[in-house]
């Protein structure tokens, strides 16, 4: 074989060997094809969503329809958290008493509200001295609770302290066929008007202030049955009657309130009522004669 024929044959053999290995299929030692291992998938990290910030709003405020003067009322406040995390809430309570402007009450509502939930908090309202309307709200919130301060209702022996510090009470009340008092000429006994009987109340006023204060006058106190008023019997020389007027600090004025009432009047029908328009508003207090 000449040199050119040998080179051509060698080139052909070399080319054939290169094509056999170009298929990309892996083989074992005997030349048998084997499976290509599958690549493992790469895990992608999952992001944790961020919870929405808290969003606490005042959704409702409410108060009783009537609050007796001189007593604490209660304000109920409903808070709702529309956010995704617990929220802290705190706001002052404001009031508009009568025709006055909105002003702080010195009370605050504070609460922790869980995410997506509502809570209701209550707070005591400061007492008010006069019969008049009132409104309450939380600062920078829209809901408003409307109420009214009404007459104080008491039992015998219970006292109501007026704005000037005078504590007024009805200590006792009795029916009688005759009323006897100490006068300028000694004891005097009075019979009731025909068809009536005596109802005698004992009034007491004590000045608890540190300076002279005016106690209610007898003209502002009366006995009532429903809306019917019975005026007291006035006797100028009656030393036992209640007088009222200026009282020194710590002084007491106590005396009778004799009144003619119908024979069929019962204790459960009657009340003693003090009502007076003072400089800052009206004060009304009622005492039931039942125990």
CA pseudo-torsion sign 83, 89, 92, 97: positive
What's the pLDDT at 45? 66
What's the pLDDT at 291? 67
What's the pLDDT at 50? 87
Q: Which positions of the chain have pLDDT values less than 70? A: 1-46, 291
pLDDT digits (tens, 9 = 90+) for 40-81: 566 666 677 788 999 999 999 999 999 999 999 999 999 999
User: Which residue ranges form the domains of the chain, and what is each CATH number?
Assistant: 56-150 (2.60.40.10), 152-288 (2.60.40.1240)
pLDDT digits (tens, 9 = 90+) for 78-99: 999 999 999 999 999 999 999 9
What's the pLDDT at 12? 40
Query: Global pTM?
Result: 0.80
């Amino acid at each position: 074989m000449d040199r050119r024929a040998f080179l051509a044959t060698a080139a052909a053999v070399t080319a054939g060997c290169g094509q056999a290995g170009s298929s990309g299929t892996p083989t074992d030692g005997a030349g048998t094809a084997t499976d290509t291992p599958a690549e493992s998938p790469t895990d992608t990290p999952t992001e944790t969503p961020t919870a929405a910030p808290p969003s606490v709003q005042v959704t409702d405020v409410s108060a009783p329809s009537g609050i007796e003067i001189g007593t604490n009322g209660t304000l109920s406040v409903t808070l709702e958290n529309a956010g995704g995390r617990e929220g802290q809430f705190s706001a002052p309570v404001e009031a508009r008493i009568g025709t006055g402007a909105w002003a702080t009450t010195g009370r605050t509502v504070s609460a922790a509200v869980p995410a997506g939930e509502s809570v209701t908090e209550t707070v005591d309202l400061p007492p008010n001295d006069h019969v008049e309307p009132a409104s309450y709200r939380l600062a920078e919130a829209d809901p408003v609770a409307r109420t009214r301060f009404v007459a104080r209702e008491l039992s015998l022996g219970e006292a109501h302290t007026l704005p000037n510090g005078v504590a007024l009470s009805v200590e006792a009340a009795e029916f009688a066929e005759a009323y006897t008092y100490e006068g300028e000429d000694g004891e005097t006994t009075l019979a009731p008007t025909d068809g009536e009987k005596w109802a005698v109340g004992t009034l007491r006023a004590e000045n608890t202030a540190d300076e002279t204060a005016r106690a209610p006058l007898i003209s502002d106190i009366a006995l009532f049955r429903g809306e019917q008023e019975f005026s007291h019997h006035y006797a100028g020389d009656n030393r036992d009657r209640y007088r009222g007027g200026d009282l020194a600090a710590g002084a007491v004025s106590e005396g009778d309130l004799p009144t003619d009432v119908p024979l069929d009047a019962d204790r459960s029908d009657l009340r003693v009522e003090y009502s007076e328009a003072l400089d800052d508003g009206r004060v009304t207090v009622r005492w039931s004669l039942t125990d």
